[in-house]
Structures are given as structure tokens and as C-alpha cells.
Structure 1
Amino acid sequence: MPEQLRTSTRDLDDLRLRVQTWLRGRTGERSAVSELERPTGNGLSSETLFFTARLAPDGREQRCVARLAPAPEAVPVFPSYDLGAQFEVMRLAAGHVPAPRPLWFEPDPAHLGVPFLVMAREEGLVPPDVMPYTFEGWLLEADPADLRRLQDRTVGLLAALHTAPLSPGRLDFLGPPGLRAHVTATRRYYDWAHGALPVPLLERAFAWLEDHWPAEPGPDVLSWGDARIGNVMYRDFEPVAVLDWEMAACGPPELDLGWMIFLHRFFQDVAEVFGLPGLPDFLTREQVCAAYRQASGYEPRDLDFYETYAALRHGVIMARVWHRRIHFGEQAMPDDPDDLVMHRARLEAMLG
């Protein structure tokens, strides 16, 4: 796998000056911004920047994370980036899970060329995507008891988030609730991302969903959307920050459960391709469902459907990411469009 997937064409020095000018307009002329840094292990869809702000008038320092909508020339992963919606979801989720503290949302693209939001930066460790946490690092070296605690506490985040009240009208900006609406939105996204070059394997997966539709989908809850350990920050194996809310929606709890189970399976498969042991007994379906049942009292169901749906969604996203890599000259277009799906063999087996 590549050491780092490119997500931006923006110059950091220019961005720092622009961020500082914007911050001074918000907080005072004596405010200043440190050098900007980009994370190296996670983040594919939008641009993330780390910096420290010295705020006027008292010089107080605030460690910050900024998320910027991607520039159009960077081949965006998603058709739109509603950072205002992410800002509001974080404010809502903070009452139920340790979401980052939102600081500012700037909808005006005049400052940095795109809308952006700024949140407080937490201290801790995040399981990396590149190189994957199943290859090396602190999770692989963890004591089994610590690893199990991390797993169960992370599943507990989902149970806590899913208790957030869905007040009428409060989450309308996330789109209509329900499984059918969620799958319909995914199909629209697929058509936007790959309509010019269809991916037959993903087309087959959409047909499979229709043939295996749950008889009675679960209740609608606030769904995190990108529910995986690579979007959680930990200290001493305890979650301290839940990150990345751009895929939030309202739908059955199994949307998050299936995504969490499949995404670990994806990284485990990558490790095994390279002959590495990975973490085969971590975040299994049985363990995730048992932990969720204990934390919530709800019995997850139809996980074959939801894990396959997660594999389909991930396939649509990663095929789009591969188009970005092609755009940046990091990879050639494959002869077979099904090879744009990194987990082709796994998805084929799930459909088989």
C-alpha cells in the first residue's frame, strides 16, 4: 500500500497566512497561527490541518484541527461537503459521546477558497489507515485485555450515540431517515462517482441488496456513518474523541455495526495479503453484536445484509479514491473496472 494517499494541492505556507488573517478577524489583531501540519495516517475525503492558535487578547493557546472542503481540482471523494452539517452533528453528538469540541464554522469560501470548520484538538492515539493498524503499532502490541476493553468501549460509543433523540425537524439536514433512503442516497452517490465508467461488481452488489432486503429494518437512530476505530482517538485504550462525521445519517443501528465489522475485516484482509497475522480475533461480528447488546439491550439482526452493504459502500468510496490516485499520477487505470474495488475478492465472496 502507498505510504500516504494525496488529498490536496494547496500550499501550506499560503494557507497559514490565510488562516491567520481569518482568525484575526474573528478574535483580534494579535492572534497568531503556528506552522500548519497535515496528518499522515488517516483522512482521505477532506483536507485536515493541525495548528496551534495564540488567541488575542490574552495570548491563550488553543490546539486546533481544521477541516476544509476539498478543492474541485483534487477530485473530491464526495459530491458535496456540508461542513455546517458536520459542525451541528458534532454539537449534538457531544451530549452522548466524546466528540471534538467545535470552535468555529466558516461558510464563506473567500478566506481559504472553500468553507471550513475548526475544532479543538485532543491528545491521544488514532489507529492509522496508512500503514494499517493491522500491520504494526500499538494495537498489535497491546495486551489482549486492553484490546478487548478498547473494542467493547468503542462499540459502547455506538450504543450511546444511538440514544440521541431524533427530534422532529432537528436533523432534517441529514436527509430523510430509513434504510431505503440510505441505500437510495448511496446509489445516487455511485452514479455521480462512477456513472461515466460503471463498476460491474458494484452493480451486482446493488442487485444483491434488493434480493436480500431485511423484512423489518431496525429503528432509526443517529448513525455516525464512518464508524470505525480509525476515526476514534484513544488514551490508555479508552475512547476520548470520536472523529469524522461527514457520513452521518438517520437509519438502523446496524448501519454503524455492519460498517465497523466490515472495515476491520477489510484491514485484516490487507494484512493477510501481505502475509501478516493482523488481528483476526478483533471486532468480529459475534463480539461486536454481543458488546452492543450488553450496552443497549438491542439485538442486532440481518448482519449479512448490513456487512455486504458496508462492503458495497466502501467499494464505491475506494473506487473514487482510486480515481483520485489516477488523477495525481500515482496509479494507472486498470483494464478491468472491478479492480478499482480494493476488496474485490472479499465482496465477490460475500455476493457468492
Structure 2
Amino acid sequence: MNTSPRSFALDGSRQITTPVHGLDELRERFAAWLGRRVGAPVSLEEFAPPRGSGSSAVSVLVSATWESDAGSSTLELVLRLPPRAEAVPLFPTYPLATQAAVLEVLGGLDRVPVPAVYAFEESPEALGSPFLVMERVHGEIPTGNPSYAIEGWLLDAAPHERRRVQDGTIGCLAAVHATPDPAARLPHLATNGNVDALRAHVAAQQDHYAWTVSLDGVRVPVIERAFEWIESHWPSDPGEPVLSWGDARLGNVVFREFEPVAVLDWDMAALGPRELDLAWFLLSHEVNQGTAEAMGLPGLPGFCATEDVVASYEARTGHQVRDLDFYRVYAALRLSTIRAQVTRRLIHQGLEPPESGDDYAGHPSILATLLEQLS
């Protein structure tokens, strides 16, 4: 599929990533909180957002040291907080408690490499908002800006090394989906007993889209057409729900020596069919590959090809992947809703509004292209 995301000409004042407000004050408050926790004054040698940090929650890399009777101690951590309202959030709420619970469940099962949870604070007293603190895992991450299909370590890797990255990530995805009794282990993800997981997932997505429209009244017709399309193409048997990663993409995996050592970002974790994650993973790579091709570059031809990814997943799980066109459209719908909200963020920072509602989702739109191909 030769599609590409809309590119925005950004100056230094415009940020697709979520900005960190009041970094100096946040640093002081976090040092005080950590000092109380370890029982000694703490020095923060590093306290800064990672390069190209995410567009949803706020992330800060932390390196902390302190002295005690036992000697010198060091901790390397990642702090995550919800964005402030003035940052034009991508989602109405940020379930840090869900992220913490998923990490603790997966860490306890020891089947998926995830960062250890150092602390979760639901009270805003310490930092002004709830926050999650995790172990920092070092390694290489395939970046989205600039795209890993344009430059970087993955582009420079040999074909067999890229294959290790692909297979290792699919292995992690299969392991996430193999989480036993996910509804019992993560009861806040469970749906009402009268609503199946896919119905609940789509209903939540409809609520998300309605929330974005309520902010400025701008509707995105292609998203609304996609909701109609998925209703008329609903799977006859979505299968038993599994723990869904929600944001299954290479940019949310830390690698060392081309092997995954940490699976990140559980903001969109849910219960649902396996194909939710598979379609999102494939779409994410298509976006990166399409970005390279739109620039006249080869990108990574053959990498994360649909047939290879599906075959690898089926071999690992014994599950026959089905209704992939439905889940591709739904993944593109979800991505378009997020992109439309990113556009609102950029308008808030001074970008001229697009001429049409559909252009909020990017032009050319991956979702519009898919709907045209499948009509």
C-alpha cells in the first residue's frame, strides 16, 4: 500500500509531541518526592523529556543519585504524567492506573519484557497530577520522527537483523495475547457482560470521536463513513477477547542486539480480538514505509509484510487471522481520529486550519484510500 501521512511544516514553537510544562518546578517536586521515598536528599543528574517523546502522555527521563550509610545509590527511571488541558490532549482521559496494572500483571507473569513499576501515585498532591514511575530500560527504539524507514539503526541493519526485530516483536505480541484470564487479572478492562469486547471497543472509539468533535464542532466525514462501513462489515465471529496492547508498533519496543528488551506504552490497552493489534501494527509500519516512499526513498521493502507477519503470528499462536480488512479499516479510523486531534493541537499553536474536515485526518488520508479500495 502506497499511502503517506500528511506532513506539517513545523517551526520550533509547534509540537506534535506532548509538551512538558513547568519542567523546573516539576523537577524540584519530583526530587522532593523521591527523597522522601528513599529517605535521603536526591540529586537529579538528568530530568528531561526523551528525544521525540510521545504525543499522548508526558514522559521524562530521570537519573537520580543519593548518599546513605550504605553508600552511593543511583536510579534510572521514567516518569509519566497526563498532559495538561492547554496542551490539547489526544484523549479525554489518561488511564495511568491501567498502565500500571498492565505492567504489573505482565511483569508478574514474566512472559513479556516490560519495565518494572517503581511507583504509581493516584493522588495529585506530590506533583500536581497522578503519575507513574517506571524502570528505565536502555536500548534502541525505531523512531517515528524521523521515521525508521528513512534513517537510523533499523534502516542500516542487515536483512537478517531486521527479521529478528520483526519476529521478536510478533513474539511479544503473541505473548501479550496469551495472558491468562485477562478479564479477571485486569477487571477494570472487562466489559459489561451484555456487551462483547469488540462492541465495547468500537463504542469507546465512537465516544472518543464525539469528544474530539465537541471541542470545536469540526466533523471529519471520512471517519463517520468508516463507522458506517464497519457496521456493515462486522465480523461474524470476533473470537474470544485477549489482552490487547492497543498501541502495538515498533516505536513502542526497546531493542538490544535486535531483540526486544522492553515493551512500552499501554495507554490504549483493552480487551478485544487479536486482530485489533495485528492491524494496528501493520498500519503503523505502512505509515512509516509510506513516508519514505513519498520522499522517493525505498524505505524497508519486504520488512513487516502482511503475509509474513500474519504467518509468523499464526505459527506462534495457532490462531487463524481473519477479517483483516475490517480491522485495517478500524485501525485507520482510530489513527484518523488521533491525527485529527493532532491537527487541532497544531492549530492551537498557530497552524492555519485545513480547508475541509477530512483534511484534519491527513491528506491523502489512509482511511479514505482504504475505504475506496474496499468499496
TM-score, normalization by structure 1: 0.95
Q: Aligned with 2:321: secondary structure?
A: coil
Q: Name the structure 2 match of 1:262.
A: 283
Are residues 278 and 263 of structure 1, via their aligned partners in 2, closer, same or farther at CA, if it must alter by over 3 Å?
Answer: same
- Deviation string 1:108-140 (CA, Å, 9 cap, x unpaired) is 112222111110101100011111111111111
Cα distance in 2 for residues equivalent to 1:170 and 1:206: 31
| Letter of the structure 1 residue corresponding to residue 32 of structure 2 | T
| Letter of the structure 1 residue corresponding to residue 166 of structure 2 | Q
| Letter of the structure 2 residue corresponding to residue 198 of structure 1 | R
Counterpart pick for 1:157 among 172, 181, 186: 172
Cα distance in 2 for residues equivalent to 1:279 and 1:293: 23
Q: Gaps (5+ residues) in structure 1? A: none
Are residues 169 and 293 of structure 1, via their aligned partners in 2, closer, same or farther at CA, if it must alter by over 3 Å?
Answer: closer
1:80 and 2:93 matched:
yes
Percent identity at matched positions? 46
Judge conservation of contact 1:40–1:130 (CA < 8 Å) in 2: no
Judge conservation of contact 1:99–1:243 (CA < 8 Å) in 2: yes
Cα distance in 2 for residues equivalent to 1:241 and 1:170: 21
| Letter of the structure 2 residue corresponding to residue 276 of structure 1 | L
Q: Gaps (5+ residues) in structure 2? A: 1-6
Q: Name the structure 1 match of 2:207.
A: 188
Q: Name the structure 1 match of 2:32.
A: 21
Q: Name the structure 2 match of 1:135.
A: 150
Cα distance in 1 for residues equivalent to 2:257 and 2:242: 29
Size of the aligned set, in residue pairs, is: 351
Q: Name the structure 2 match of 1:204.
A: 225
1:296 and 2:313 matched:
no
Cα distance in 2 for residues equivalent to 1:197 and 1:209: 22
Q: Name the structure 2 match of 1:340.
A: 360
Deviates more, 1:172-181 or 1:18-27: 172-181
Judge conservation of contact 1:67–1:118 (CA < 8 Å) in 2: yes
1:322 and 2:343 matched:
yes
Cα distance in 2 for residues equivalent to 1:295 and 1:55: 45
Aligned pairs for 1:272-291 (under 5 A) are 272-291=293-312
Q: Name the structure 2 match of 1:103.
A: 118
Are residues 93 and 127 of structure 1, via their aligned partners in 2, closer, same or farther at CA, if it must alter by over 3 Å?
Answer: same
Judge conservation of contact 1:16–1:35 (CA < 8 Å) in 2: no
CA RMSD after TM alignment: 1.6
Q: Aligned with 1:50: secondary structure?
A: strand
Q: Aligned with 2:154: secondary structure?
A: coil
Q: Name the structure 2 match of 1:238.
A: 259
Q: Name the structure 1 match of 2:42.
A: 31
Are residues 167 and 307 of structure 1, via their aligned partners in 2, closer, same or farther at CA, if it must alter by over 3 Å?
Answer: closer
Q: Name the structure 1 match of 2:4.
A: none
The structure whose RCO (Cα within 8 Å, separation 6+) is larger is 2
